[in-house]
Amino acid sequence: MTVAVYHPLEETTRWWVDALTELLPGWQVAAMDEIADPARVDYAVVWRPRPGALARCPNLRAIVSIGAGIDHVLADPALPRGVPIIRTVGRDLTQRMREYVALHVLRHHRDMPRQLQAQRERDWHAVVVPVAPRRSVGVMGLGNLGAAAARTLAGLGFATRGWARTQKSLDGVEVFAGPDRLDAFLDGCEILVNLLPLTRDTSGILDARLFGRLAEGACVINCARGAHLVDADLFAALDSGRIKQATLDVFHEEPLPADSPFWDHPAITVTPHIASRIDAATGGKLIAANLREFERTGSCPDLADAARGY
Ligand SMILES: NC(=O)c1ccc[n+]([C@@H]2O[C@H](COP(=O)([O-])OP(=O)(O)OC[C@H]3O[C@@H](n4cnc5c(N)ncnc54)[C@H](OP(=O)(O)O)[C@@H]3O)[C@@H](O)[C@H]2O)c1
């Protein structure tokens, strides 16, 4: 079997090639750019593949996304139709996202930015906030990551609600389903966490209209994709005080350019797409296990639904 690897950073491509070579004895693993005959490629393991690159591999059996989302693969207008796309998901990613969401929700809940400012001013200023059961927290997207995050927040005692495409039951979480229930989900929500996949339906969903439905002075945490957010609408909502604070892990352009206004905004916390960044050794094992399973059975549990977009 031949596996072609592509990541926009050459050194990261090299790392994946080395890791998968070790984990898949007997398979040929190489950087996509180093494979002279694309007809030899059985599997492609990619992050943000170059448009048209996958279409040049006529015998491709499956595409593996280095990550839970598949939007970066579907963004290729020449993507060969019908080739299965395998997501990279697992307990490790879910655990990391639970930690990130708990950290940032608690930080907003306990108004840590205000408390830290008081410390800088040597001001013994006690910020007293409502207890978690009186704090309304909403999670958009209740898949692998969103459901785990919502359960974690409910476990911490927050009045937790979640929004998904289809109805489901999650202990301690009030679930709203479908576009018709979006406003009911948003109404009065004080801390909003976005864990939706990026699709036609969800692109730009974090906009002025949505911010206007949240509680006055709500906080927003975007740890899904940069294109979910209408940047200008967030700046306007922060400037007007409609939104008090935002935590952003993902951006339209990554790495975030040095001159981006996000870096210095006093009400924005920037993290470099690390909410659930998997460590290399674990990621390699997940991908190798999926490839072996797919090769053996023609399927695997982490297959995405390309028509649905996630
Ligand atoms: N920042 C990071 O480090 C990081 C790491 C990994 C992933 N991510 C992002 O997190 C996203 C979510 O990952 P996941 O593994 O949890 O995804 P997932 O398992 O595919 O779940 C997606 C969830 O979103 C819901 N959904 C999809 N379209 C919707 C719509 N139009 N309206 C309402 N709900 C909708 C789905 O509803 P149903 O349940 O009804 O289908 C499902 O609950 C990824 O796509 C990726 O963009 C970020």
Mean pLDDT, to the nearest integer, of 190-198?
A: 98
Q: Which residue has the tokens 């059975």?
A: 297
Whether residues 148 and 248 share a domain: the answer is yes
Query: What is the tally of structural domains in the chain?
Result: 2
Residue 273 annotated among the catalytic residues of the structure = yes
AA letter at 7: H
Q: Is residue 168 part of a domain?
A: yes
Q: Give the model confidence (pLDDT) of 30-62 as tens digits.
A: 999 999 999 999 999 999 999 999 999 999 999
In this predicted structure, the answer to whether residue 280 has a pLDDT above a threshold of 80 is: no
Whether residues 200 and 217 share a domain: the answer is yes
Distance CA 85, CA 264 (A): 38
Among protein residues, the one whose CA lies closest to atom 9 of ligand 1: 224
Q: How many residues does the chain have?
A: 310
Q: Name the band, by pLDDT with cuts 50, 70 and 90, for residue 279.
A: confident
Ligand 1 center–CA 191 separation, angstroms: 18
Mean pLDDT, to the nearest integer, of 6-16?
A: 95
Mean pLDDT, to the nearest integer, of 286-309?
A: 97
Q: Is residue 306 part of a domain?
A: no
Question: 277-291: b or e for each residue (b if 16 or more CB lie within 10 Å)?
Answer: ebeeeebbbbbbebb
Pairing status of strand 159-164 against strand 2-6 = unpaired
Q: What is the pLDDT of residue 133?
A: 98
Ligand 1 center–CA 174 separation, angstroms: 18
**Beta bridge partner(s), residue 248:** 222, 270
- Burial (CB count <10 Å: 0-12, 13-18, 19+), residue 159: buried
Q: What percent of the chain has pLDDT over 90?
A: 99
Whether residues 156 and 292 share a domain: the answer is no
Name the DSSP class of 229: B
Backbone angles phi, psi at 290, to 5 degrees: -65, -40
Ligand 1 center–CA 37 separation, angstroms: 36
Decide if 144 contacts 89 (C-beta within 8 A): yes
* Ligand 1 atom with minimal separation from the 146 CA: 16
Q: Is residue 163 part of a domain?
A: yes
Q: Is the dihedral of CA 240, 242, 247, 253 positive or negative?
A: negative
CA angle 283, 78, 6 (to 5 degrees): 30
Mean pLDDT, to the nearest integer, of 224-241?
A: 98
143 lines ligand 1 (CB under 6 A): yes
Cβ neighbours for 175, distance < 8 A, ≥ 6 positions apart: 142, 161, 162, 163, 164, 167, 168, 169
Q: Give the model confidence (pLDDT) of 114-160 as tens digits.
A: 999 999 999 999 999 999 999 999 999 999 999 999 999 999 999 99
Ligand 1 center–CA 289 separation, angstroms: 22
Whether residues 101 and 20 share a domain: the answer is no
Q: What is the pLDDT of residue 281?
A: 86
* Ligand 1 atom with minimal separation from the 275 CA: 3
Whether residues 103 and 244 share a domain: the answer is yes
72 lines ligand 1 (CB under 6 A): no
Q: What is the pLDDT of residue 42?
A: 98
Whether residues 142 and 187 share a domain: the answer is yes
Q: Is the dihedral of CA 230, 231, 237, 243 positive or negative?
A: positive
Q: Which residue has the tokens 């309304």?
A: 136
Q: Is residue 102 part of a domain?
A: yes
Number of C-alpha atoms within 13 angstroms, CB side, residue 208? 7
**Helix or strand (DSSP H, E) at 231:** helix 231-240
Q: Give the model confidence (pLDDT) of 88-101 as tens digits.
A: 999 999 999 999 99
Ligand 1 center–CA 144 separation, angstroms: 7
What mean pLDDT value characterizes the chain?
A: 97
225 lines ligand 1 (CB under 6 A): yes
90 lines ligand 1 (CB under 6 A): no
Whether residues 186 and 203 share a domain: the answer is yes
Q: Which CATH number do you get for residue 73?
A: 3.40.50.720
What range does the domain containing 119 cover?
91-270
Whether residues 108 and 156 share a domain: the answer is yes
Residue 108 annotated among the catalytic residues of the structure = no
Q: Is residue 309 part of a domain?
A: no
Q: What pTM, to 2 d.p., does this model score?
A: 0.97
Q: Name the band, by pLDDT with cuts 50, 70 and 90, for residue 305.
A: very high
Q: Is residue 305 part of a domain?
A: no
Of 87, 107, 225, 228, catalytic: 225
